[in-house]
Amino acid sequence: KNEVEQSPQNLTAQEGEFITINCSYSVGISALHWLQQHPGGGIVSLFMLSSGKKKHGRLIATINIQEKHSSLHITASHPRDSAVYICAVGGTTNKLIFGTGTLLAVQP
Amino acid sequence: KAGVTQTPRYLIKTRGQQVTLSCSPISGHRSVSWYQQTPGQGLQFLFEYFSETQRNKGNFPGRFSGRQFSNSRSEMNVSTLELGDSALYLCASSLAVNLNTEAFFGQGTRLTVV
């Protein structure tokens, strides 16, 4: 079993829909990262969480440390949100353990 | 403020050769981490450097090595290349190593071994 599990692996949505991507982990962590990767490879850090909830524009990330679970929500989805979303967890160093990613396609 | 810069962006090498990849972190960042991304294994941690010292190493053979210079720029080297080393190599920079600060990623170097 992977230490970081994401679901779903693939997600297709219509423009405007509310999207949720889930991440569960089995190791002790200091922080959880949500990353976005577009075709071509570059990775952008969306959030780093150690507790509670964060919001940037249409993106919301939550984490429940007791349940070892995090969710990434996208409100009013848009085709430009199409990308791979990756959950990664870190301990007291910057060594990250990654989930396998969720491929999101938002159709107009 | 310039982001993380990786060079070269694309590279083609033949089996048995060696390769050196470069990563320039964001100004002021002292921690640089390297990751390998392949379709089969996903993203995997290679190593982390802070203040010219390797702080962590992932489960990769000794053919993979790295170093960090006094200006925080980092290089990774892969010797005796194998076909399976074909991957996207990403580096990320952070302010510090023990504070679990936000990681900023470069665009990556796509290495193809033929």
pLDDT in tens, A10-32: 999 999 999 999 999 998 888 89
| CB B3, CB B103: distance < 8 Å | no
Report pLDDT for B63: 97
Is A101 close to B110, i.e. CB distance below 8 A?
Answer: no
Cβ of A31 under 8 Å from any chain B Cβ? yes
Q: Which element (helix H / strand E) includes B50?
A: strand B42-50
Chain A residues near residue B106 by CB distance under 8 angstroms: 42
* Surface-to-core class of residue B58, CB atoms within 10 Å of its CB (0-12 exposed, 13-18 middle, 19+ buried): middle
Tens-place pLDDT, residues B85-104:
999 999 999 887 655 678 88
How many other CB atoms are found less than 10 A from the CB of residue A90? 23
Under DSSP, the state recorded for B103 is P
**Cα separation, B92 vs A51, whole angstroms:** 23
Retrieve residue B32's tokens: 């640089």
State how far residue B56 is from chain A, nearest Cα, in angstroms: 7
The answer to whether B44 contacts A100, with C-beta atoms less than 8 Å apart, is no
| C-beta of residue A63 within 8 angstroms of C-beta of residue A70 | yes
What was the pLDDT predicted at B17?
A: 98
Residue spans of chain B under pLDDT 70: 1, 97-100
How does pLDDT run along chain A (108 residues), one tens digit per residue? 689 999 999 999 999 999 999 999 998 888 899 999 988 778 898 999 989 999 999 999 999 999 999 999 999 999 999 999 999 998 767 788 999 999 999 999
Residue in chain B closest to A33 (alpha carbons) equals B102
Q: What is the DSSP string of chain A?
A: --SEEEE-SEEEEETT--EEEEEEE-S--SEEEEEEE-TTS-EEEEEEESSEEEEETTEEEEEETTTTEEEEEESS--GGG-EEEEEEEE-SSS-EEE---EEEEEE-
Number of residues assigned to chain A: 108
Question: How confident is the model at residue B99, as a pLDDT?
Answer: 55
Report the pLDDT value the prediction gives residue B96, as an integer from 0 to 100. 73
A35 touches chain B (CB under 8 A): yes
Contact between chains at B42 and A98 (C-beta distance less than 8 A): yes
Per-residue pLDDT, B98: 58
C-alpha closest to that of A24 among A48, A47, A46, A8: A8
